[in-house]
Amino acid sequence: MTSTIPADLPLPGAKTTQGAVERADEGNITRRSKRRLTSRGATIASLVIAILWTIPTFGLFVTSLRPQEEITRSGWWEVFLRWDLTLENYQTVLANEDLSRSFINSIVITLPATVAPLVVAALAAYAFAWIDFKGKNTLFILVFALQIVPIQMTLVPLLTLFFRGLHTAGGTLFEGFQGAGIYTQVWIAHTIFALPLAIFLLHNFISEIPGEVIEAARVDGAGHGQIFLRIVLPLTVPAIASFAIFQFLWVWNDLLVALIFASGEASPITRTLAELTGQFGRTAYLLPAGAFIAMIVPLIVFFALQRYFVRGLLAGSTKG
């Protein structure tokens, strides 16, 4: 379960699963234990899916490289008839102060909003998996069920709480976050909304750790703190990393929370793009380039952490 074999390492056993069909041309690829796709039909099907899924993005990419007049005049495929590409749009976007500032805002919002829910959720998931208490199953199912709460419904109460604080007849209980940094509310909101899914997925993984390992540590005198830090966390790295990727993508791409909780100066790139979309017309030609710049960071994150996706991830149990 701890193995984090990179995707391109030849996996033991890969060869033995080959069908008879591929064995014929095995001579060509004896150096590597990889094989071709299962069959011709499968090859065609996966190529079709890959192409269908890529065309829309490819179209956007081509559009982002076309000069303004061309974008409004004709479809992006005409670029193959009349080759006319430029980096001008990207230059304009990067020179646009709003967009470059919101790019930084996105980074500042996303990183803490990825780390915090993961840590809090890992603590809770550990308790749900390895500490017995009354009503554990019920509580766990309640937490799971909280996933369904539409974020839209929680925005107003939460916003009121952040803005006004909490007061009773006798005085203040919570003074609110008004004027306390522009990112605070966004961080906390994202952390809360991520928790139910994070607890659920991490619990699936943490509870798969063999009981003997935990028991052995306990016999050696480790308390819950050490077990969590020294045994559970290292064994859960693949699951944490893969959830971190998703959480990063979700926060980075979020619009709803940003619209409500981020003030103008803290607005992330999605919100700025959406505002640009609203003023369709004058700046519309910049949207493709802007959207592409917004995509770059998530793609880098995916590339960097991709190897964690390889084995036994997110509820990747074979039981059950």
Partner 1 sequence: MLKDFFNWLGDLPPLLQVPVVILAFLAAVGLLLFFLEVAPRRGRGYTIMRVAVAVLVPAFVLFAFGSVWWAIAIGALAGGAMFLLDYRSRAGTGYVLQLVGFLAPALFLLVIGLIYPSIATIFQAFQSSRGRWVGLENFAWIFSQPDNLVTIRNTIIWVLVVPIISTIAGLAYAVFIDKSRGEKYFKILVFMPMAISFVGASIIWRFIYGYREAGQSQYGLLNQIVVWFGGTPVNWLQQAPLNTFLLIVVLIWVQTGFAMVVLSAAIKGVPTEQIEAAQLDGTNAWQRFLNVTVPGIRSSLVVVLTTISIASLKVFDIVRTMGTAYPDTDVIANEMVTLAQNFETGRSAAFAVLLFILVLPIVIYNARVIKKQREIR
16 makes contact with partner 1 (CB under 8 A): yes
From the list 94, 161, 231, 235, which residue makes contact with partner 1 (rule: CB under 8 A)? 161
Nearer to partner 1 by Cβ, of 21 and 87: the residue is 21
From the list 93, 124, 186, 206, which residue makes contact with partner 1 (rule: CB under 8 A)? 124
With 0-12 / 13-18 / 19 or more C-beta atoms within 10 angstroms meaning exposed / middle / buried, residue 266 is buried
Residue 31 beta carbon to partner 1: minimum distance, rounded to whole angstroms = 12
From the list 93, 99, 189, 214, which residue makes contact with partner 1 (rule: CB under 8 A)? 189
**What part of residues 214-253 is at the interface with partner 1 (CB under 8 A)?**
222-226, 228-229, 242, 246, 249, 252-253
From the list 9, 55, 85, 213, which residue makes contact with partner 1 (rule: CB under 8 A)? 55
From the list 2, 86, 91, 147, which residue makes contact with partner 1 (rule: CB under 8 A)? 147
Residue 85 beta carbon to partner 1: minimum distance, rounded to whole angstroms = 16
The conformation of residue 208, written as its DSSP 8-state character, comes to T
How far is residue 74's CA from residue 12's CA, in Å, rounded to a whole number? 52
Tokens of 144: 């799971």
What does the per-residue mask of binding to partner 1 show for 125-144, with x meaning CB under 8 A? Answer: -xx---xxx---x--xx-xx
From the list 13, 27, 135, 281, which residue makes contact with partner 1 (rule: CB under 8 A)? 13
From the list 2, 86, 172, 263, which residue makes contact with partner 1 (rule: CB under 8 A)? 172
Nearest to 212 by CA among 235, 229, 193: 235
213 makes contact with partner 1 (CB under 8 A): no
Nearer to partner 1 by Cβ, of 88 and 130: the residue is 130
From the list 2, 39, 86, 263, which residue makes contact with partner 1 (rule: CB under 8 A)? 39
Residue 204 beta carbon to partner 1: minimum distance, rounded to whole angstroms = 7
With 0-12 / 13-18 / 19 or more C-beta atoms within 10 angstroms meaning exposed / middle / buried, residue 38 is middle
List strand residue ranges (DSSP E) for 47-177, in order. 166-168, 171-174
Q: Which region holds residue 39: left if phi is over 0, alpha if psi is between -120 and 50, else beta?
A: beta
Tokens of 218: 């306990």
How far is residue 35's CA from residue 191's CA, in Å, rounded to a whole number? 43
67 makes contact with partner 1 (CB under 8 A): no
For 144-201, give the DSSP string: HHGGGS-HHHHHHHHHHHHHH-EEETTEEEE---TTS-SSHHHHHHHHHHHHHHHHHH
Cβ pair 282, 92 in contact under 8 A: no
From the list 65, 66, 99, 191, which residue makes contact with partner 1 (rule: CB under 8 A)? 191
| Number of residues written out for the chain | 320
59 makes contact with partner 1 (CB under 8 A): yes
From the list 2, 86, 91, 317, which residue makes contact with partner 1 (rule: CB under 8 A)? 317
The count of chain residues that interact with partner 1, using the rule CB under 8 A, is 143
180 makes contact with partner 1 (CB under 8 A): yes
